[in-house]
Structure 1
Amino acid sequence: MRRRTVISVAQSRRLRRVEVERAPRLGFIRPTRLGFRVGVRLHDGQTPEDYVRVLDKLAHAWKVHSVRLASWKPGKVVLVATLADPLAHVTLPVLSDGLLRVRVGLMDTGAPFVIDFRAIPHWLNVGATQSGKSNLANALFVGLAPQPVALVGFDLKGGVEFTPYEGRMSALATERDECAELLAGLIGIIKYRMALCRRHRVKNIWHPRLPEAARPMPLVLLVDEVAELFLMADPKAEKDAVAAVSTRLLRVAQLGRAFGVYLVVCGQRVGSDLGPGVTALRAQLTGRVCHMVNDDETAKMALGDMDPGAVVAAREISPAMPGTAVVIGSEGRWHRMRSAHVLEEQAEAAAAEYAHLAPSWAELTRGAVASDDLDPDEVDEFTAPDLEDLPV
């Protein structure tokens, strides 16, 4: 027998009263360090996205620097207003913030922006010349230098970016062929660590059951001018070399997290026209940092697959604010960020001071065999590590 749904008179009237474009019902206004926050009760038919679309209008109406949606729950959103731009002056005296954590800058919320490789293992950092991309890399290097972390560099500008820091690096490649060789070594390191985890019946090198004495040192690979890895002056002659580098780099990105191998990929221009390898690599780089760029394609490649609104914000970055970027991190929402200004001399001093912490490439690859091949059974077993196994 067919059942009929009965709608009461009260429900029917309520359905007819739904109207999205209505003035907000504001709650108590509470002061914050940078401005104020206010709760807003949603009318029937309204959603948080209705307020996201008019945040700029609210900022002008309230005569404040910016308004953002801080949080929401059914029927209510919380808006936070900032009276002045917190990114006008950024000072972070201490960059290192624990193992594989570096406070590289300040967010528009007033909170430090932290690159935490344990939370987000791989990052994409794009920006035009003089946008602050290299400064961010310097800040990251200074923060990682005093930590028990191995650093490996790919500097496709002929070594001018990372050579001054070579003393703290375990290896530095400046040509595509050298990068291909080091990537083969990194795949060998991953395979060796896979075998180590299998012997101890754990899914990643951070598992509590893995003895501390057996835990391998984490490794961060810094790649500058990634486009040079994929560009081909002569497609016939260079196609195989580019394919080898692309495949190896993608494998490192896919499997590195569980075995303590992390990526920071930097570039002035990163677009889909560089080939499918770049798009596939981009999918593995969950953390995104987009400084001022010269073209829409790079902004879309960095942010478009996560939040189209972030692309618009990135294209509005002023050249008068070097170091400013739109970032997407662990929250999955975009924010404006400005990195702390780190002089090259500071990074060079950190490289010299902590050079004794850098393991040699021979030490890192001891027991590992450079390889292009990964056993499909190993890949299936380890590509999705259980995050619950990570110690808090």
Structure 2
Amino acid sequence: MFRKLPGDEARNLVTTTPDTAVVFRPAVVTTPAIITVIILVSRLIAGLVRTLWRHPIAVTVLAVPSTLCWLYGWRVALLLSAPAPTGIVAWALIDRASFARLIGWRLLAWWRLIWIYRRHWQPVMIVSGLGKHLRGRDYLPRLGKVTCTAWADRVTVRMLDGQAVKDWADRIEALAHGFGAPSCRVSVVKAGRLVLTFPRRDPLAVPLPAIPIPDVPTVGPVEIGIQEDGSPWLLNVHGTHKLVAGATGAGKGSIIWSTIRGLLPAVRAGLVELWALDPKLMELSFGRTLFGPRYAATPEECAELLEQAVKVMQERAARFGGHQRSHTPTVEDPFVLVIVDEVAFLTAYQADRDLKRRVSAALATLTTQGRAVGVGVMAALQDPRKEVMTIRNLFPDKIALRLDESEQVDMVLGDGARDRGALADHISPVPELGAGVGYVRLETSPDPIRVRAAYVSDADIRAMVTEFTPAGGEAR
């Protein structure tokens, strides 16, 4: 009979004598104690070197007072060490901005690296599926540098071999909750390396008042709000066509009127013409005298105005052909911005098929050929589905405000935009919190940018009309 053997070795043994006792003794290799000590000491030294390399300032702050105390006593150590923290505190109180830029954010990044990310890295990676536990060993993505700004943490990560960006983009909600952040965004640095952005607070939670009208005429970029990092949101209206999508009350009017507000000095100087299509008779009609004869409300008037814009575009193309390839605004050839509020009413919900065909053909012509000759289009709509707006891909720059469904985010900003952090379907429906908040995806970058447009009130529009409507009631 077989004796009890370790593991499954018994089934691998064969004998022709049933009564023979088979004994299996596994080979045991005894490691000399000196080798074990060498391994432990080398690991300790490697850990100390790694700590010194990663945290030189923190090690110095602890090591210097300890050394002084050991050599000269605690009184001398306190006397010599006290001026440094006192000076740092005074610096922080006197010049907070420079202190934060040079020291404050670095200290905060070190603290959050140790207390938040490194402490929770292994469980978050394993539970979210981004790390693997094989044969008793954890294979984890490598946590890199942490950088703090005034509103967010930027965490550099080296992916595991074989991982794709989509693996991380599909788990942004798990990463956000795992590290205690309201959201997470994924951007690619280079092959194999990512940057995870975890906001600590929302700098766009407070409504932004109307941006002051520029003193100098400008065609763009026009400042219409702020970005999440606190920098101005500049909209390049002269460079590309714009599509603004958002549910009712999302703040499409804030973007339209902020753009108009920034262009008014250029309109007065004759460098810009604003052509307004207002089929809802609500948004743009409030300041219709700013547009003069280039304002249309009925579907027939909208179709005619769009066809006039096509004629202007074709006439310029005939003159520019062979002489210039880009447009520079002048009084003779000003930049023409065609603003269409609720474009879906003209392209999808219009009962007259002939009017629908004329509007769609004119918009397609303007968006494919108008950019080079100084004719731009800014269109706003609520429903971004393809059957509603068949030419949405002809708008290089798109802005997604609050949307009703998660699928609509990729319809507006392109495939993968929501996975990269453009959570437009999570924007608050409360006007004070979410009106004018959205995500922008430019033609030069696949990463969405969170922004908020300034709110232009009725009083602001009245002041604009009073100041910039010439005598006679028509804007130039």
Question: Is residue 2:438 matched to residue 1:325?
Answer: yes
1:288 aligns with 2:402: no
TM-superposed CA distance for 1:86, in Å, is 1.6
5 Å-filtered alignment, 1:70-219, equals 70-91=187-208, 93-94=211-212, 98-119=218-239, 121-147=240-266, 148-158=271-281, 160-170=282-292, 171-198=294-321, 201-206=323-328, 216-219=333-336
- Alpha-carbon deviations, 1:222-255, whole Å to 9, x = none? 1012122134675xxx222221221112111111
Residue identity opposite 1:32 in structure 2: T
Shift of 1:324: 2.1
CA contact (8 A) 2:337 2:377 kept: yes
| Amino acid in the other structure paired with 2:176 | A
**Match for 2:315: what amino acid?**
Y
SS class of match (2:427)? coil
Q: Structure 1's 360 and 138: CA in aligned 2 closer, same or farther, altered over 3 A?
A: closer
- Unaligned residue ranges in structure 1 (runs of 5+): 1-18, 207-211, 364-392
Distance 1:109 1:118 in 2: 24
Counterpart CA distance in 2 for 1:133 and 1:126 is 7
Cα shift readout 1:289-322 (whole Å, capped 9, x = no counterpart) = 2222346775554235563537982222221222
The aligned length equals 329
- CA contact 1:153–1:172 (8 Å) conserved in 2: yes
Change (3 A) 1:108 1:71: farther
Aligned partners of 1:51, 1:357: CA distance in 2, in Å? 59
2:367 matched residue in structure 1:
253
TM-score (norm 2): 0.61
Give the corresponding residue for 2:339: 222
**Which structure exhibits the higher relative contact order, with contacts defined as CA atoms closer than 8 Å and separated by 6 or more residues?**
1
Q: Which residue of 1 aligns with 2:47?
A: none
Matching residue's letter, 1:80: T
One-letter code aligned to 2:289: G
Q: Aligned in 2, Cα 1:41/1:273: closer, same or farther, shift over 3 Å?
A: closer
Q: Which has the larger radius of gyration?
A: 2
The SS at the match of 1:80 is: strand
Instruction: State which drifts further: 322-331 or 248-257.
Output: 322-331
Cα distance in 1 for partners of 2:331, 2:259 equals 27
Distance in 1, Cα, partners of 2:309 & 2:350: 27
Asked whether the equivalents of residues 270 and 297 of structure 1 are also in contact (C-alpha less than 8 Å), the reply is no
Label 1:245 to 1:169 Cα distance change in 2 as closer, same or farther (>3 A). Answer: same
The letter for the 2-side match of 1:287 is D
Question: For the residues of structure 2 that align with 1:324 and 1:60, how far apart are their CA atoms?
Answer: 22
Question: Which residue of the partner structure matches residue 135 of structure 2?
Answer: none
Equivalent residue number for residue 49 of structure 1: 166
Question: 2:353 corresponds to which residue?
Answer: 239
CA deviation digits over 1:120-140, x for unaligned, max 9?
x11111222222122222222
Residues 5-24 of structure 1 aligned to structure 2 (within 5 Å): 21=132, 22-24=139-141
* Structure 1 residue 284: Cα displacement: 0.9
For the residues of structure 2 that align with 1:32 and 1:215, how far apart are their CA atoms?
46
> Could you say if the C-alpha distance between residues 357 and 225 of structure 1 is closer, same or farther in structure 2, counting changes exceeding 3 Å?
farther
What is the CA–CA distance in structure 1 between the aligned matches of 2:146 and 2:355, rounded to whole Å? 60
SS, match of residue 202 in structure 2: coil
Q: Which amino acid aligns with 1:73?
A: K
> Any unmatched runs of 5+ in structure 2?
1-129, 133-138
Once the two structures are superposed, residues 310-350 of structure 1 have per-residue CA deviations (whole angstroms, 9 ceiling, x without a partner) of: 79822222212222223322423223332222212212322
Equivalent-residue separation in structure 2 for 1:140 and 1:174 (angstroms): 20
**Residue in 2 that maps onto 1:366:** none
Which runs of structure 2 are paired with 1:298-317 in the superposition (5 Å)?
Answer: 299=409, 301-305=411-415, 307=417, 309=419, 313-317=423-427
Deviation at 1:360, TM superposition (A): 7.4
State the Cα distance separating 1:175 from its structure 2 match: 0.8
Deviation digits for residues 171-221 of structure 1 (CA, Å, limit 9, x no counterpart) = 10001111121122111111221122126x212223xxxxx8686110111
In structure 2, give the amino acid aligned to 1:326: Y
2: CA distance, partners of 1:356 / 1:123: 28
Tell me how far apart the structure 2 counterparts of residues 163 and 240 of structure 1 sit (CA, whole Å): 25
Shift of 1:263: 0.8
TM superposition shift of 1:62 = 2.4
Q: What is the aligned partner in structure 1 of residue 57 from structure 2?
A: none
Percent identity over the alignment? 27
Secondary structure in structure 1 of the residue aligned to 2:449: strand
Q: Which amino acid aligns with 1:169?
A: F
CA drift of 1:162 comes to 1.4
Closer/same/farther in 2, CA of residues 130 and 312 from structure 1, 3 Å limit: same
Give the equivalent residue in structure 2 for 1:381. Answer: none
Please tell me the residue identity of whatever aligns with 1:198.
G
Give the match for residue 372 of structure 1: none
Per-residue deviation at 1:262?
Answer: 0.7
The alpha-carbon deviation at position 61 of structure 1 amounts to 2.5
| AA at the equivalent of 1:322 | A
The 5 Å alignment of 1:31-70 reads 31-70=148-187
Distance, in Å, in 2 between the alignment partners of 1:68 and 1:198 is 44
Distance 1:311 1:183, change over 3 A: farther
Q: CA deviation at 1:357?
A: 12
Checking the alignment, whether the CA contact within 8 Å between 1:126 and 1:289 is kept in structure 2 is: yes
What is the DSSP-based 3-state SS (H/G/I as helix, E as strand, rest coil) of the residue aligned with 1:27?
strand
CA contact (8 A) 2:410 2:417 kept: no
| Cα deviation 1:2-41 (Å, max 9, x = unaligned) | xxxxxxxxxxxxxxxxx96442322232332223323222
**Larger helix proportion of the pair:** 2
Q: SS where residue 220 of structure 1 aligns?
A: strand
What RMSD over aligned residues (CA atoms) do the two structures have, in Å? 3.2
On the 8 A contact 1:95/1:102 being kept in 2, the answer is no
